[in-house]
Structure 1
Amino acid sequence: MPMLKEPWKKYRKFKPLDLPNRQWPSRTNDKPPRWLATDLRDGNQSLVDPMDGEQKLRFFKMLVEIGYKEIEVSFPSASQTDFDFTRSLFETPGVVPDDVWLQVLSPCREELIKRTVESLKGANKAILHLYLATSECFQRIVFGMTEDQSVELAVKCTKYARSITKDDPSTQGTQWQYEFSPETFSDSSPEFVVRICEAVKAAWEPTEDNPIIFNLPATVEMSTPNVYADQIEYFCTNMTERKKFCVSVHPHNDRGCAVAAAELAQMAGAERVEGTLFGNGERTGNVDLVTLALNLYTQGVYPEVDFSDINKIIKVVEESNKIPVNERWPYGGQLVVCAFSGSHQDAIKKGFQTRRMEGNDPEHPWQMPYLPLDPQDIGRTYEAVIRVNSQSGKGGVAWIIMNSLGLDLPRGLQVTFSRIIQKEADAKGRELLPREIAHLFEEAYHLKRNPRFTLIDYNITAVRSDADKTSVGQPPQTAMPAQNTSSNKRQFAGVIAIDGVQHPLVGVGTGAISSLANALHSLGIDLDVADYKEHSLSAGKDANSAGKDVKAATYIECMVSGNPQEKVWGVGIHEDVVQASLIALLSAASSFLTSRVSTPKPFKPRHMRDFSQSEIHALEQLNLPGNQSPLREMMTPKAELNTSPLATVRPGQVNFEKLEEAAWKEEESNGLKVNGTH
């Protein structure tokens, strides 16, 4: 049958309570309530396969470990299993802590009350919980009783319960509390609920030191949470002897508002909440005690229960109930601290960067985009916060690289690498794991092995103007160590293996990077450096840093000469900041060559390089591994040119003199080596 076009003909609108002077909206919840965990009774009775005694004991011990002091353990008159489990708790030494109250449930029938009390024999602290439905619907349809008959039955059963508990000399070793539930409270007449509870209170004769508990359940959630709060406030206001009773609430989740109903009910005067972990229970379940507790926690109120290891708790709950915790369930779901959206990931990444800059002080107020709770407070890790699929953006990818490899990628590199990730995610049609993303980065930017280029050895030396150069036929001057002064240029002299073939190279520039770029230009590898960033890298973050101290991470963006729209990135990591930058440039060069389908492999220079005597001398100062052929045999001297070798330097795209000077000062202060020579 389809949904009705005129549903008002079948369903009646819930009539709210007329409470013009309600006080609860102006109140706040500033302390935790008394918690009653009913997983072993209400939760268990709703399972397709109820827990056995061993499973219930495991669950009970977990509830105690979390910190619950009131636990409803069974419905003893309903089954022998429940009765035996209740007895085992008292008969097994050390199972029930002295400060924990055990609660059991019974309907208003004397023979069942007797059986229930028998299960509590020998208890230290016990709560006897009786219930009787009070709504017109149940009285008319289920029981066929009038209001007067309901009051009479409730009083009769309360007096009987009193006679075999607190008034019975044989049970004086037990501290007794009594709880009465006008079942279906939220669908009952407020006036009648007050009437029956006053009668029950008079029959039990509570004191201020040992008040009676009136549990006011939303047995079936039938209205908005504010209506439930009005009902609670009406009850608290119209009952006499307020200090002699505790108001407890037991919201079910039929309309999806159990958490809100419980929170507003506390504002309206409720002091106690009954529920289950992650909301297990009849139909749509009970109110979730985890959500209620952590809602308080994120408002700065300690809930007196501890969810520091929420994954362990979830494991026990899922194995006991045989129902998985939904991945989107508040606080407990596996995806609730995860962000897939690019804009969300970027905001979270910036939030953590800000918090790191502020010192990660645990006393500093938590302000994090999209994350109301610090995942570490409940045993979750930050690695799970950002997860990457085809919808993710650069911020999420950069976050994972930061957490996996310790690399703080420049924005341009974030954009470039995120394209690689999106392509891979689209190809696989699924989420990419952090280890997969880290591996893709290492492969794309050659962190473990550069497939084309190997830096065999090199020197960076300072060179002077023409007047200081060695004349033809004179012995070359001893190379001067590189100085960080604006009057000097720098010369790179080194041997680089390209596709396994060694190439001696010499180049001159304003710094180490530009001099290597100039040397590569002599081979026909035409790259202009467009951007340069570096930062220190703590030990243990990259794949090769075990047992080492601080390293430098360098990022270089290069433009292809003649085509400024074509760009490649390179990344280098090394203890020496200069060598890290050279490795980064060779990383970019490797990507450049690989992108050229027409480039032969092994690589062949476009033209042969002739070297001056001074350049040959600089190359001969290198320490080559093994039995290398003499460099002089690999090179052809050229006549000394009348023009300065500096004239061959191609203009850079950035001011490396200033960039390197600033970077070296920063890295020296961070403990990095800045040798200038290798």
Structure 2
Amino acid sequence: MIFRQTLVTLAENVSRSAKSIPPVKLAYKNMLRDPSVKYRSFPVPKLPNRTWPNNTITKAPRWLSTDLRDGNQSLPDPMSVEQKKEYFHKLVAIGFKEIEVSFPSASQTDFDFTRYAVENAPDDVNIQCLVQSREHLIKRTVEALTGAKKATIHTYLATSDLFREVVFNMSREEAIVKAVEATKLVRRLTKDDPNQQGTEWSYQFSPETFSDTPVEFAVEICEAVKAAWEPTAENPIIFNLPATVEMTTPNVYADQIEYFATHISEREKICISTHCHNDRGCGVAASELGVLAGADRVEGCLFGNGERTGNVDLVTVALNMYTQGVPPNLDFSDLTSLIEVVERCNKIPVSPRAPYGGDLVVCAFSGSHQDAIKKGFNLQEKKRAEGNQIWAIPYLPLDPKDIGRDYEAVIRVNSQSGKGGAAWVILRCLGLDLPRNLQIEFSTIVQDKADALGRELKADEISKLFRETYNYNNEFFNKIALLDYNVEKVGDDRRNLTGQVSIDGKVYDISGSGNGPVSSMIDALSNLFNIKFAVANYTEHSLGSGSSTQAASYILLNYRRDSDNQNAYQWGIGVTEDVSDASIKAIFSTVNNIVASGEVPLPESSQARAAGHA
């Protein structure tokens, strides 16, 4: 009853305190309380029978990299010619077959680089150039591409009501006439010109600002352009439908793509391309849904470079497909070298949190995450031994090794990390699969060290800390050295051990008994030090395989401290080719650590034999 009354009183006090707190009022210094007075929701196209939500991506689209054109134009410090050359060859090495290299009519530098691309591109790589719908600019662009094995002229015209009326003061009819005129000129200068027959010419038209264009008009102007170009199924016309400015949610963009794909005529003669910008942060999603809705090609940049918030990140789109079992036909198996080229040429760093490419995206600092990943790897190895190759690791949708990263970077340790993090590092660096109790103890030591330093601990620092803390293989403390020992069987379950140890150059006889070599050696050392050592935990496992296999032994000794007469515990580790030797090394690793701490006194020197008698 008293307890219940206490709870009631506490609840009443909390209630009164809450009522005394004044309500928080938002300042709204700049933002509007009601944004609907200034902004309108985007009108959704009428597509009651949409099919794209039921579709699945089963094959890679055609890819076009526009890093050297759209991406380069968006850089505060554009690439030099040498940087563009390096970038171009990297794109070819990755596997891009279509590359938009420049705006050759804009400058002599772009023109010269286009000539370089034409002269150095493999025969199966299509060189694409962008040009405004103006006669002299189109002629200059065709001149730049002359002699290419495969080339695409890309013209564009803004088609949204906003851009036509505000920027160009152009009616829909005038826009169609201008788009058709440009198309006919390109055709006359390329595929209809007898002197240009050595090149496989393609044509791309972009109704720029498609994302804000009424879908009916987008279809209408593209129908007129198609009629002027007269494409074939073998060499289709490319209609690039860009989200020049991302206006709304990705599902609406998918509706726009499906509307276009199902209303344009001669669909078999058309390649629908997406070109998504990232104003709302949905460029990847919009591109993926665009492919579901019928798009055949995806344009973008590596790691999402581009104007404003950037173009769609082609690395993310491609590797998203890869993790679903769909070959992207692009090779990102050395993602680190690709990042180096992109960062050097763009002079913009790839975000540490960029999907797949960021330094931190395959790293886990959280203790629970680390524990799950460690368990996942242990189970994965067992499944692989049984012939199951399917990747299934918690928090890791992609095997880091597939993109050229090692597992050492998967788990990184700071003061927030748990036992799994430090244990993972020790497993990867030393091959030691620590017992659970040792994991818990060592993780606390690592956390304290990270707290003291105020930073993450690197793998080599954790490894060194572990070896020092537990006197790994007696590497740091070796005051007591085993010289020789012998174990004799005396009955079904008893063993007698005799031997000699050296302490500060003096030899001591040791003897003890137990049910095996470990217990006999522990008893012998207990007799030597006149203190009771007891085994609280013993674990062993193999390291490596074949002729290089070693054994690792872990021993936890319980003893009574001389300083305060309290029970204490100490771990030790021994690693060698023989299991018995490893266990003995672990024992001496532990005892040496205890002696080095000063918690146990050394044996009386009167027990020592003459050193020369050993």
Alignment TM-score, normalising by the size of structure 2: 0.91
User: Counterparts of 1:79-118 in structure 2 under 5 Å?
Assistant: 79-90=107-118, 92=119, 95-118=120-143
Q: CA deviation at 1:499?
A: 5.0
Tell me how far apart the structure 1 counterparts of residues 504 and 239 of structure 2 sit (CA, whole Å). Answer: 83
User: Counterparts of 1:176-575 in structure 2 under 5 Å?
Assistant: 176-359=201-384, 364-448=389-473, 449-464=475-490, 487-498=492-503, 501-522=506-527, 523-538=529-544, 549-561=548-560, 566-575=568-577
User: Counterparts of 1:143-154 in structure 2 under 5 Å?
Assistant: 143-154=168-179
Q: 1:585 aligns with which of 584, 587, 612?
A: 587
Tell me how far apart the structure 2 counterparts of residues 564 and 397 of structure 1 sit (CA, whole Å). Answer: 29
Q: Tell me the alpha carbon deviations over residues 267-316 of structure 1, each in whole angstroms, 9 at most, x when there is no partner.
A: 10000110111111001110011111111111111111111111111111
Tell me how far apart the structure 1 counterparts of residues 579 and 273 of structure 2 sit (CA, whole Å). Answer: 66
Structure 1 stretch displaced more, 18-27 or 489-498: 489-498
Verify the 8 A CA contact 2:64 2:99 in the aligned structure 1: yes
Q: CA deviation at 1:595?
A: 4.1
Verify the 8 A CA contact 1:450 1:590 in the aligned structure 2: no
2:5 match? none
Q: CA deviation at 1:608?
A: 6.3
Are 1:141 and 2:166 an aligned pair? yes
User: Counterparts of 1:622-661 in structure 2 under 5 Å?
Assistant: 628-630=611-613
What residue ranges of structure 1 are gaps of 5+ in the alignment? 465-485, 541-547, 611-618, 620-626, 632-678
Q: Which amino acid is 1:16 matched to? A: V
Q: Greater Rg, structure 1 or structure 2? A: 1
Structure 1 counterpart SS, 2:612? coil
Percentage of matched positions with identical amino acids: 57
Structure 1 counterpart SS, 2:63? strand
Verify the 8 A CA contact 1:341 1:393 in the aligned structure 2: yes
Tell me how far apart the structure 2 counterparts of residues 373 and 71 of structure 1 sit (CA, whole Å). Answer: 27
* Shift in alpha-carbon separation, 1:77–1:34, aligned structure 2, 3 A: same
Verify the 8 A CA contact 2:205 2:239 in the aligned structure 1: yes
Verify the 8 A CA contact 1:52 1:81 in the aligned structure 2: no
Tell me how far apart the structure 2 counterparts of residues 349 and 144 of structure 1 sit (CA, whole Å). Answer: 63
Structure 1 stretch displaced more, 51-60 or 174-183: 51-60
Verify the 8 A CA contact 1:184 1:220 in the aligned structure 2: yes
Q: CA deviation at 1:147?
A: 0.8
Structure 2 counterpart SS, 1:629? helix
Tell me how far apart the structure 1 counterparts of residues 476 and 38 of structure 2 sit (CA, whole Å). Answer: 74
User: Counterparts of 1:58-97 in structure 2 under 5 Å?
Assistant: 58-90=86-118, 92=119, 95-97=120-122
Task: Considering fraction of residues, name the structure with more helix.
Answer: 2
Q: CA deviation at 1:494?
A: 1.9
Q: Tell me the alpha carbon deviations over residues 566-621 of structure 1, each in whole angstroms, 9 at most, x when there is no partner.
A: 32111111223222212212222233334445x55xx244x9669xxxxxxxx9xx
Q: CA deviation at 1:422?
A: 0.9
Q: CA deviation at 1:107?
A: 1.1
Q: Tell me the alpha carbon deviations over residues 455-484 of structure 1, each in whole angstroms, 9 at most, x when there is no partner.
A: 3323232253xxxxxxxxxxxxxxxxxxxx
* Shift in alpha-carbon separation, 1:454–1:566, aligned structure 2, 3 A: closer
Tell me how far apart the structure 2 counterparts of residues 154 and 519 of structure 1 sit (CA, whole Å). Answer: 96
Verify the 8 A CA contact 2:483 2:502 in the aligned structure 1: no
Verify the 8 A CA contact 2:497 2:512 in the aligned structure 1: yes
Q: CA deviation at 1:500?
A: 5.0
Q: CA deviation at 1:126?
A: 0.6
Q: CA deviation at 1:538?
A: 2.6
Q: CA deviation at 1:394?
A: 0.9
2:8 match? none
Verify the 8 A CA contact 1:249 1:270 in the aligned structure 2: yes
Q: CA deviation at 1:411?
A: 0.5
Q: CA deviation at 1:334?
A: 1.1
Verify the 8 A CA contact 2:471 2:590 in the aligned structure 1: no
Q: Which amino acid is 1:551 matched to? A: Q
1:15 match? 43
Tell me how far apart the structure 2 counterparts of residues 493 and 174 of structure 1 sit (CA, whole Å). Answer: 90
2:3 match? none
Q: Tell me the alpha carbon deviations over residues 351-375 of structure 1, each in whole angstroms, 9 at most, x when there is no partner.
A: 1111222345886111111111111
Q: CA deviation at 1:175?
A: 0.9
Verify the 8 A CA contact 1:451 1:499 in the aligned structure 2: no
Q: CA deviation at 1:452?
A: 4.7
Verify the 8 A CA contact 2:97 2:124 in the aligned structure 1: yes
Verify the 8 A CA contact 2:485 2:500 in the aligned structure 1: no
Tell me how far apart the structure 1 counterparts of residues 232 and 448 of structure 2 sit (CA, whole Å). Answer: 71
Q: CA deviation at 1:226?
A: 0.2
Q: Tell me the alpha carbon deviations over residues 388-437 of structure 1, each in whole angstroms, 9 at most, x when there is no partner.
A: 11111111111111111111111111111111111111111111111111
The root-mean-square deviation of aligned C-alpha atoms, in Å, is: 2.1
Structure 1 stretch displaced more, 575-584 or 278-287: 575-584
Are 1:166 and 2:170 an aligned pair? no
Q: Tell me the alpha carbon deviations over residues 306-338 of structure 1, each in whole angstroms, 9 at most, x when there is no partner.
A: 111111111111100001111111111111111
Q: Tell me the alpha carbon deviations over residues 618-663 of structure 1, each in whole angstroms, 9 at most, x when there is no partner.
A: x9xxxxxxx93225xxxxxxxxxxxxxxxxxxxxxxxxxxxxxxxx
Q: Which amino acid is 2:499 matched to? A: G
What residue ranges of structure 2 are gaps of 5+ in the alignment? 1-28
2:150 match? 125
Tell me how far apart the structure 2 counterparts of residues 226 and 361 of structure 1 sit (CA, whole Å). Answer: 42
Verify the 8 A CA contact 1:131 1:181 in the aligned structure 2: yes
Q: CA deviation at 1:15?
A: 1.5
Q: Which amino acid is 1:574 matched to? A: T
Alignment TM-score, normalising by the size of structure 1: 0.83
Tell me how far apart the structure 2 counterparts of residues 527 and 208 of structure 1 sit (CA, whole Å). Answer: 85
Structure 1 stretch displaced more, 566-575 or 276-285: 566-575
Q: Which amino acid is 1:629 matched to? A: G
Tell me how far apart the structure 1 counterparts of residues 187 and 453 of structure 2 sit (CA, whole Å). Answer: 68
Verify the 8 A CA contact 2:488 2:497 in the aligned structure 1: no
Tell me how far apart the structure 2 counterparts of residues 361 and 322 of structure 1 sit (CA, whole Å). Answer: 47
Q: CA deviation at 1:236?
A: 0.7
Q: CA deviation at 1:496?
A: 2.0
Structure 1 counterpart SS, 2:472? coil
Tell me how far apart the structure 2 counterparts of residues 528 and 240 of structure 1 sit (CA, whole Å). Answer: 86
Verify the 8 A CA contact 1:70 1:101 in the aligned structure 2: yes
Tell me how far apart the structure 2 counterparts of residues 57 and 191 of structure 1 sit (CA, whole Å). Answer: 41
Verify the 8 A CA contact 2:560 2:567 in the aligned structure 1: no
Tell me how far apart the structure 2 counterparts of residues 159 and 507 of structure 1 sit (CA, whole Å). Answer: 101
Tell me how far apart the structure 2 counterparts of residues 83 and 388 of structure 1 sit (CA, whole Å). Answer: 51
2:16 match? none
Structure 2 counterpart SS, 1:358? helix
Q: Tell me the alpha carbon deviations over residues 153-200 of structure 1, each in whole angstroms, 9 at most, x when there is no partner.
A: 111111111111111112111111000000000001111111111111
* Shift in alpha-carbon separation, 1:225–1:565, aligned structure 2, 3 A: farther
